[in-house]
Homo-oligomer: A and B are copies of this chain.
Amino acid sequence: MVSALEKIKLAKNASGSLAGASTNTKNDVLAQIAALLPARATEILAANALDLNRAVESGMTASLQDRLRLSHERIQAIADATSKIVSLGDPVGDVVRGMTLPNGLKLSQVRVPLGVIGVIYEARPNVTIDIAVLAIKSGNAVVLRGGSAAEHTNSVLVKLLQDALAIAGIDADAVQTVDEFGRDGAMVMMHAVGMIDVLIPRGGAGLIQQVVQEAKVPVIQTGDGVVHIFIDESANLDWAVDIVHNAKVQRPSVCNAAETLLIHKNAVARVLPAVLDKLVSDGVTIHGDQATAAIYEGTVAATEDDWIAEYHDLDLAVKVVENIDEALAHIAKYSTKHTESIITEDIQNAERFLAEVDAAAVMVNASTRFTDGGEFGFGAEVGISTQKLHARGPMGLQELTSTKWLVRGAGHIRS
């Protein structure tokens, strides 16, 4: 059997084939993927059934089973999403900056693929295609490590991706999976210095922390959102009710869902009951401080754990603050630097919040659910970076590129 390291080497050796491909050729690959997905649905669903049977036997929760499950409709949806990436602009070759130096030397900084991208992610077969498609469109080879629970499905999907590459004349080795090596495969990826140009872990905080601690290759941290909304003294009541509800209830399991509500003490009587009523009517449990419990029946007493909780569920921590300073201090202490939003009518507080909060996305009078590559118009996203190096916020095609300087002279020497 080929080892995990050998598979990563295959991806590296094939990366030049993809990096040098024209946009047309890369779009051909994507069109092939979109065509092969429904054409191979029977084979894909058979593999998926194997994974699902094993999942049921192992007692996997219903919601995780749902993420693992494919159907004809879901396969077509993945194919349609792939077709959409064809129409997105290709960042490779874009000139970022350029200048002619006083001595006549011509410089241009152009976008180039990163090379080989490693992704460690959860057992969701749609992610296998989504990520490979973004990598291919941006000219990058990719090494995938999906959750073991999706191993059979991913194996069929990776073969499909390789076939699509080959049909378009690209080295099929540019897409690899190390699923069959389990955790060892992930470990080899983390140590593949000089072969993997960037490693992107997607999943729970535990996985991400493990990768950050263990990896020797460059890592981009994603996800992980203890997201706050601060209702300022002057907040518009209707906006507060709708935004907090949308941010908490629309899709509580995702990283841009709100987890903690902060509210100015002078807005409590006017705004808080209506905000909480609407949440509670949709089944949200309120974990509040004493001031919240004093005015709102049914509040569960919040502990220190609630301020650091990423519930990913119908729970919300609520704290009454003295003023915007206390709100900013609380956010600075507990934020995971994903998304933070203020609801205010006060322009000075809005601008201060935008300037002082250190996060990938800082919002005024908007739901935190908007921090998303699709919503931002990127077409798709590999993840949402919560670190400051290279990429911050939703990562689309451009965030999967590096640059190089092209220098054109006519016998130029340095004096």
By a beta-carbon cutoff of 8 Å, the part of chain A in contact with chain B is: 16, 19-20, 99, 101, 105, 107, 109, 112, 114-115, 193, 197-198, 212-213, 216, 218-220, 236, 238-239, 242-243, 245-247, 250, 341, 350, 354-356, 358-367, 369-371, 375-377, 387-390, 392-393, 402-414
Using A243-B411, A388-B114, A389-B218 as known contacts, say yes or no to A405 and B107 having CB atoms under 8 A apart: no
B residues in contact with A218, CB < 8 Å: 218-219, 387, 389
With A350-B408, A363-B408, A366-B413 known, 13 other A-B pairs at CB within 8 A are A20-B355, A101-B375, A105-B366, A193-B213, A197-B388, A236-B411, A243-B411, A361-B404, A363-B406, A365-B411, A371-B407, A393-B403, A393-B404
Q: Which residue of B lies closest to A197 (CB)?
A: B388
Q: Which residue of B lies closest to A356 (CB)?
A: B20
Select which of B109, B112, B393 is within 8 A of A405 by beta carbon.
B393
Contact of B389 with A242 in the complex, beta carbons under 8 Å: no
Contact of A392 with B387 in the complex, beta carbons under 8 Å: no
Q: Which residue of B lies closest to A113 (CB)?
A: B388
Contact of A392 with B403 in the complex, beta carbons under 8 Å: yes
Select which of B101, B112, B213 is within 8 A of A377 by beta carbon.
B101
Looking at the assembled complex, report how far the CB atom of A137 sits from the nearest CB atom of chain B, in whole angstroms: 18
> What are 11 A-B pairs at a CB distance below 8 A?
A112-B358, A114-B389, A115-B388, A218-B387, A239-B411, A243-B413, A246-B414, A370-B407, A370-B414, A389-B402, A392-B405
C-alpha spacing A359/B109, complex, angstroms: 12
B residues in contact with A376, CB < 8 Å: 101, 107, 405
